[in-house]
Amino acid sequence: MARKGSRKVRTGCLTCKARKVKCDEAKPKCQRCINTGRRCEGYVTKPTAGLLWHRPRQLFQSIDTASEGRALQFFCEKTAQFLSGATDPYFWTHLVMQFSNFEPAVRHSVVAISSLYEQFQAGAKAPFVHLGENSLALQHYNAAIRELKTTENQPLVLLVCILFICIEFMLSNKAAAIQHCKHGIALLENANYSWAREYLVPVFRRLSVFPFFFGKDLNDFPDLVPLENPMPPSFRDFAEAQSVMDSLVSRSLRLIRWGDAYRFGNKRYEPVPNEYVVEREEIGSMLDKWHALFLTLDANATANAMLPTTPISDMYNFNTNAIQAMSRAILLVRYEVCRIWLDVAFETDETCYDWHLDSFRRVIGLCQIFDSVIPADARKPLGNRSPKFIFETGFMPLLQFVTSKCRDFDMRLEALRLMTILGVPRENLWEIDQIFAISRRVIEIEHDVVLDDSGRPITPPSIPGLPADEKRIRFSAIEPNLFTHVGVNNDEVCGWTVDFVMRNREDEIVSHSEFLPTERPGPITYPVSPPEST
């Protein structure tokens, strides 16, 4: 039986339109939003000159094929709603959708993203998807690239650059994603378009983090000058506090990557350049100011009441307390982690992390607070309704840092548990099964213990306290491709090869490789190569 139709109201506030609920259209703010504790985003107004990028080159009057139309509908109803994770989805739900109506490069990119995202949601066997297995995504990604080569419109290039990064994230093409990110940030330096700077710079500021995690050397790191965000005299809301913290996280990560050579590389025990020391002091001073401003904001009940909801918070029925706890936790966790990064950036001994056990304890406590306010309904499996891929970075890399560098055994196990609760199967390039497997193995090696599939001890640790420096892993490097390995029982096991870098008793930096299965059959590891000097 056909559903009874109703007249669609297209003049409602942006918040109600995004949630697909009827708006009471009260001015200046919708009462429906105010009564439910949401921030009313206001109403669509006539675009001002600052919002006009350029004259559209082409206006699509109809959908070319049924598959394209289906992909666009899926993007509008599903993909755009959840790509942003816990951050404001406006970029995907409004800006991208608007420009897909008249810019072919955006439209083709959206179709490719939607098709790949649907493949993720359908339960791709591997933790990433292959472009060659998705002809629709391949066709439209190539078409978007061709279209982009014909334009000199810089704001359009910047927008599509973000979409290309999203595609490469889903394909797990780290090198390509890094190059797109560097290219987009370089273009921002000469971008004089207020619209682009207002809406695109914040996205690139958040994206600037991942090249420092996944890049191989200084050549992979973006220039952060176009993304600089001055410290305001006060924070108006959590969004402004987050924007400044985004800059501080990137600068802190860049500093610790500068320090790689001094911690375990070919410059160990050499003097640290003065410009690195100055940068560390400046970041530290800014972190002090940020923390003071945030504590003032955090104590302001009015500011807390203005925290926005997102499609994910609506799906899981997060109440105001849960949204506030999540926003507060992620910001303070990042603050604590930046503090640790600054202090250990040039230390050659891994025991330097033991100075920060209280900071690690605060990180765990903040994550536990968020865990405690998650509604019971949100803990129930939602099947394919739950997002399996988000574009933004969430808790996963921060909790991996705790499991890798906090040598308190109980805190490490708790961080491992929280990773499975607060993490999404894929946060851009972070894949939870992979990160969990590496984190679990690091704990096993350093404490001489065997953990089960859930990360709980099967045997008591031989080293329950803080391990010696030569027992600690400096970092781990993973082969990018998932492959099949023949196990000890001649059965085929799917997994990754991981290099663990350590220091031996002769003070040499050495590495050894292991094969880590994606689905661990038991307390077994498969050696691939003996330790060798790096």
Strand, helix or coil at 494? Answer: strand
The pLDDT of residue 531 is above 50 = no
* DSSP type of residue 227: G
Handedness of CA 302, 308, 313, 314 (dihedral sign): positive
Query: Is residue 151 in some structural domain?
Result: yes
369: in domain = no
Q: Which residue has the higher pLDDT, 134 or 325?
A: 134
Domain assignment present for residue 262? The answer is no
Q: 15 and 161: one domain?
A: no
What's the mean per-residue pLDDT of the chain?
82
Among 4-18, 62-76, 401-415, name the most confident range.
Answer: 401-415
Which of the listed residues 164, 182, 216 is the one where a domain comes to its end? Answer: 216
Instruction: State how far Cα 103 lies from the chain centre.
Output: 27
pLDDT at 521: 34
CATH number of the domain bearing residue 29: 4.10.240
Q: What is the per-residue pLDDT for 336?
A: 97
Domain assignment of residue 112, given as a range: 49-216
Residues 91 and 198 in one domain: yes
| Domain assignment present for 255 | no
Residues whose CB falls within 8 Å of the CB of residue 424, separated by 6 or more in sequence, listed in order = 85, 387, 388, 389, 390, 394, 396, 432
Pairing of strands 473-478, 492-503: antiparallel
Domain presence at residue 148: yes
What does the pLDDT read at residue 247? 95
Single out the residue in 169, 197, 216 at which a domain terminates.
216
Q: Rounded to the nearest 5 degrees, what angle is found at the Cα of 511, between the Cα atoms of 517 and 257? A: 95
Pair (34, 90) in one structural domain: no
* Alpha-carbon span 455 to 318, nearest angstrom: 27
Same domain, 21 and 107: no
Residue 58 has pLDDT above 50, yes or no: no
Nearest CA among 387, 394, 423, 427 for reference residue 166: 427
On the question of pLDDT at 496 being above 70, the answer is: yes
Whether 212 and 174 have beta carbons less than 8 Å apart is answered as no
Let me know whether 211 and 86 are in one domain: yes
Average of per-residue pLDDT across 182-187: 93
pLDDT at 408 over 70: yes
What value does the mean pLDDT take over residues 311-329?
70
Three-state secondary structure string covering 389-417: CECCCCCHHHHHHHHHHCCCHHHHHHHHH
Asked if the bond preceding 397 is cis, omega within 30° of 0, the reply is: no
How many CA within 13 A on the CB side of residue 435?
27
- Residues 69-104 as b/e (b if ≥16 CB within 10 A, e otherwise) read ebbbebbbebbbbbbbbbbbbbbbbbbbbebbeebb
Q: Both 17 and 96 in a single domain?
A: no
Q: Domain ends where: 160, 188, 216?
A: 216
Q: Which residues contact 192 (CB under 8 A, 6 or more apart)?
A: none
In a domain, residue 374? The reply is no
Sign of the dihedral through C-alpha 462, 465, 470, 476: positive
Question: Over the stretch 347-357, which tens digit does the pLDDT of each residue have?
Answer: 999 999 999 99
Residues 6+ apart with CB under 8 A from 146: none
Reply yes or no on whether the pLDDT at 156 is more than 70: yes
Q: In this structure, are 19 and 156 located in the same domain?
A: no
- Judge whether 84 lies within some domain: yes
Instruction: Band the pLDDT of 312: cuts 50, 70, 90.
Output: low
Helices in 101-237 by DSSP H: which ranges? 104-121, 135-148, 154-170, 174-188, 194-199, 201-207, 210-214
Highest mean pLDDT among 365-379, 454-468, 516-530: 454-468
The pLDDT-based confidence of 343 (bands split at 50, 70, 90) is very high
- The reply to whether 177 and 29 lie within a common domain is no
Give helix then strand counts, H and E, for the chain.
23, 7
- In degrees rounded to 5, what are phi and psi of residue 348? -90, -15
The average pLDDT across 251-266 equals 94
pLDDT at 333 over 70: yes
Of the candidates 205, 191, 280, 193, the residue with the CA atom closest to the CA atom of residue 240: 205
Helix (H) or strand (E) holding 427: strand 426-427
Q: Are 34 and 57 part of one and the same domain?
A: no
Instruction: Tell me the pLDDT tens digit for each residue of 2-26.
Output: 434 434 445 677 777 766 677 888 8
pLDDT, position 108: 94
Indicate whether 82 and 163 sit together in one domain: yes
Are residue 208 and residue 82 in the same domain, yes or no?
A: yes
- Structural domain count of the chain: 3
100 with 199, same domain: the answer is yes
